[in-house]
Amino acid sequence: MTAMGGLEFRRGMHELGRGTWAYLSPPGTWGWSNCGLLVSGRDALLVDTQFDLPLTRDLLAAVAALRPDVQIRTVVTTHANGDHCWGNQLINGVEIIGSAACGHGMGEEVQPAELAALSGHGSPGTPLGDYMRRHFGGFDFTGIEVTPPTRTFSGRLDVAVGDRRIELLEVGPAHTDGDVIVHVPDAGVVYAGDILFIGGHPIMWTGPVQNWIAACDRITATGAERIVPGHGPVTDPSGVAEFRGYLEWVAERAEKAYASGLPYWEAGDPSAIPPAYARWGNPERLVITMATAYRYLGDPAHDLMEVLAHTAEGEAKLRAR
């Protein structure tokens, strides 16, 4: 698959130009996240790690094979979800940078042992258990020690990598409480973390959706021509615009559905998705996003397991069609 950014969506390192690379992880669905690499001289910065230790070892092996002459001195964690940071422990002695909200959020997330129990062979024989096994059962959550940032910031932080300057821009709360994008001005590259999903429906854990729309505008305002999403193929400003349009549709859909008294899980019914986004993967995740959007419209907060159960039921209906 070739994306708007012109790169084939295949696993491994892809050069973006001027000492920047994207490490892509197809199919880009639950847990299959992208990372980034920036090199200047013998110094390297890594954007995010992988969901488990074996996958992170693969990532580090790819870095070593590509540039055996460099040393990773900095890791930027774009947000607290495990698929972007649960491999941090394997990079010893480096500075790990993230937003203050990200650092706090890593302790509040579902932890590796809990996720292993929810998705392992002993998980319940329910639609939710089946959903969790199918999407998370292939990952290995053993031995993970959640490793938070050693340096945190709020707003903006400029970081030197060798003789280059990069910009860390906090754009959350949006997908999560503390989302950060990484802008490499001299390469025209942005590593967007999960502010951007390409080819798949996003999950809005925190919101509000208006903040997420504004975060898309922050990416566009950088002028970057190559944007690495948290999931999916590398894209360009047109991909950001398409994703922004989806978020605008979510905001409008949520307001109308809430005003009409429709429960959030019915507002998130995949059959309501416009044709422009109907081919995106994991349409059932709209249920999660609608539950969050409803909270800002006055609905009480819902238990995570309840929301995930409705999400699993939505996927089960799709699979039965």
Q: Is residue 148 in some structural domain? A: yes
Q: Indicate whether 146 pLDDT > 70.
A: yes
Q: Is residue 3 in some structural domain? A: no
3-state SS class at 194:
strand
Q: Where does 95-222 have alpha helices with state H? A: 100-108, 112-119, 127-136, 209-221
Please compute the mean of the pLDDT values over residues 287-294 and round it to a whole number: 98
Output the CA–CA distances (angstroms, integers) from residue 14 to 17, 185, 199, 234, in the order listed: 9, 19, 18, 9
Structural domain count, the chain:
1
Q: How far apart are CA 301 and CA 292, in angstroms?
A: 8
Query: CATH number for the domain including 230?
Result: 3.60.15.10
Q: Is residue 179 in some structural domain? A: yes
Q: Indicate whether 321 pLDDT > 80.
A: no
Q: Is residue 7 in some structural domain? A: no
| Whole-number pLDDT of residue 2 | 42
Q: How confident is the model at residue 3 (pLDDT cuts 50, 70, 90)?
A: low
pLDDT in tens, 50-60: 999 999 999 99
DSSP-assigned beta bridge partners for residue 2: 8
Q: Is residue 1 in some structural domain? A: no
pLDDT in tens, 77-136: 999 999 999 999 999 899 999 999 999 999 999 999 999 999 998 888 899 999 999 999
DSSP-assigned beta bridge partners for residue 167: 158, 183
* Mean pLDDT score of the chain: 96
Please compute the mean of the pLDDT values over residues 293-307 and round it to a whole number: 95
Q: Is residue 6 in some structural domain? A: no
Taking residue 110's Cβ as centre, other Cβ atoms within 10 Å add up to: 12
Q: Indicate whether 1 pLDDT > 60.
A: no
What's the pTM value of the predicted model, to 2 decimals?
0.96
pLDDT in tens, 211-254: 999 999 999 999 999 999 999 999 999 999 999 999 999 999 99
DSSP-assigned beta bridge partners for residue 37: 21, 46
| Whole-number pLDDT of residue 124 | 86
| Whole-number pLDDT of residue 92 | 87
Q: Is residue 276 in some structural domain? A: yes
- Give the pairing of strands 226-231 and 164-170: unpaired
Q: Indicate whether 5 pLDDT > 70.
A: no
| Whole-number pLDDT of residue 7 | 86
Which residue range forms the structural domain that includes residue 43?
12-320
DSSP 48-78: ---SSHHHHHHHHHHHHHH-TT-EEEEEE--
User: Chain-centre distance of CA 37, in angstroms?
Assistant: 16
Please compute the mean of the pLDDT values over residues 135-158 and round it to a whole number: 97
Q: Is residue 5 in some structural domain? A: no
Output the CA–CA distances (angstroms, integers) from residue 230 to 35, 133, 215, 220, in the order listed: 7, 22, 14, 16
